[in-house]
Chain A
Amino acid sequence: MGQLYDLRTKIEAKIAADRLDATDVKGKIGLKSGRLLAFISPSTPDDPVAFEKLKQAAKDVLHLNI
């Protein structure tokens, strides 16, 4: 529990650190991964497949290695 939410937090931190357009970047990552970041909460159950997709999307869009 919370694995996906941790990843969302790291993504938002990176967007804030790089001062990027949050809506645009989140949209791109959402489209690539097939998940809406806004719907990922601390209670979102762990899903290895969804996690890998989100991680890969973050890597592609933000060059964020997790």
Chain B
Amino acid sequence: MKLKSIQTKVLAALVACLVVGVGGILVLMQFSFKRNAEALAQESVSGSQKLFAILEAREISKMTAVSEVLIANPQIRDAFAAKDRNRLLGLTAPLFPKLKSEGITNWMFHTPEPDMAVFLRLHNPTKFGDRLNRFMDKEAVRTHAIVAGNELARAGFAVRVLRPVDAAKGGIAGYVEFGEELGQFIHAMKSQTGNEYGLLLSKQFVDKQFWADSSAVLKRRNNWDDNPGFVVADKTTSDDRIMRFQGSLSAVPEQGTVLERYLDGTSIFVRGIFPIRDASGNTVGAMFVVRDISAQYKAMRHTQNILVSVIVVSLLLGIVLVLVLLDRLVFRRLQHIIRVATRVVGGDFESEIKIDSGDEVGQLELLFEQFRRVFVDVLGHVTEFKKE
């Protein structure tokens, strides 16, 4: 193929289009892949956050329903109104193991305001009379209505429901409170999603001595000094890499954020964090989430590879088709005209062109054939003239 030929130029143009087209598609695909990967990573965090919110709402509903049933019991209400701790303990203690098996770890009765002191702790009956002075206590006193939310206390970080108990004679007999440790949420979340989770608490809201004491009671390592700004309350994996975080918890955006995507062996993971607020709106903790996105990642790559392959093959077939058409419709016919012209000049005056088409090349063929006949006729006359 000659470099100056139209065929070469067309082929070069088509190859250039192929290269530019495939290059553009690859860039577009890569961009799209990156965006999808980012969306997937963000969805991993927001999905976990939603699941946490659902679990939280479900447990609040459960504790609210339990409290409704409890205060509807006249014996319990009377014992509480009479401030008969032993009778109240006798009536409620048999119920506590069942509630505990349902996840309710804290159960308390509080005296009414202005004291608002702990009257009875079902989870620790020997300890009472202390004042907790928490945000939720103040809200319950202020509104005399059900208050629900997360509350970080010395006893731990729990989602709680606190509600007033009306006295038979009118007024408030006191308050009843149920709570569930948030730490157990992450295990429920892991069983539902397969993701790994870690719950951390800001040191700003945790008492160092209490943390050391509770660590000893719970027979866990005191991890207070592991991180400068937070302590790890619970996690679903022994791998500490899940907890790598530098910065302030208060700076974590409300909708959570993706911290990184990383490769571990052949698996791809995404790690993110979302804040956990208490009932007063303070960011007292956060939850880490690690999700294995290898399957989705591989599926996206597979789809991308198929798309690129299909596009490249289509473009190649298109190029071949264009070249075949050009060859059949233009180049072969032009070659035939050149061959006939050469043969006529070489003395074969009978060579002629058959015109099968009225297209542009057909018009050229017709013109040439007419010219050839005139040329042959002129040659005949010149020969005769010379003979004369």
Residues of A near any B CB (own CB < 8 A)? 22-28, 30-31, 36-39
Q: List 22 A-B contacts (CB under 8 A).
A: A22-B347, A23-B343, A23-B346, A23-B347, A24-B342, A24-B346, A26-B346, A26-B347, A27-B341, A27-B342, A27-B343, A27-B347, A27-B348, A28-B342, A28-B346, A30-B346, A31-B341, A31-B342, A36-B345, A37-B346, A37-B347, A38-B347
A49 to chain B, nearest CB (A): 19
B372 to chain A, nearest CB (A): 12
Q: Which residues of A contact B361 (CB under 8 A)?
A: none
Complex CA gap A24/B341 in Å reads 9
Complex CA gap A29/B238 in Å reads 90
User: Closest chain A residue to B342 by CB distance?
Assistant: A27
Among B341, B348, B379, B382, residue most surrounded by chain A Cβ atoms (within 10 Å): B348
Complex CA gap A45/B342 in Å reads 25
A66 to chain B, nearest CB (A): 20
For the complex, is B344 an interface residue (Cβ under 8 Å from A)? yes
Q: Which residues of A contact B342 (CB under 8 A)?
A: 24, 27-28, 31
- Are B348's CB and A23's CB within 8 A? yes
Complex CA gap A37/B345 in Å reads 9
Number of interface residues of B (CB under 8 A): 11
Nearest 6 pairs between A and B by C-beta?
A: A27-B346, A27-B342, A26-B346, A23-B346, A30-B345, A27-B345
Residues of B near any A CB (own CB < 8 A)? 339, 341-348, 379, 382
- Are B347's CB and A24's CB within 8 A? no
Complex CA gap A54/B346 in Å reads 14
Complex CA gap A31/B375 in Å reads 14
Complex CA gap A31/B343 in Å reads 10
Q: Which residues of A contact B382 (CB under 8 A)?
A: 39
User: Closest chain A residue to B348 by CB distance?
Assistant: A23
B278 to chain A, nearest CB (A): 96
Complex CA gap A27/B339 in Å reads 9
Residue A25 contacts which of B339, B344, B346, B379 (CB distance < 8 angstroms)?
B346
Q: Which residues of B contact A26 (CB under 8 A)?
A: 345-347
Q: Which residues of A contact B379 (CB under 8 A)?
A: 36
User: Closest chain A residue to B340 by CB distance?
Assistant: A27
Complex CA gap A37/B76 in Å reads 130
User: Closest chain B residue to A38 by CB distance?
Assistant: B347
Complex CA gap A26/B347 in Å reads 8
A14 to chain B, nearest CB (A): 14
Q: Which residues of B contact A36 (CB under 8 A)?
A: 345, 347, 379
User: Closest chain B residue to A28 by CB distance?
Assistant: B342
Q: Which residues of A contact B348 (CB under 8 A)?
A: 23, 27
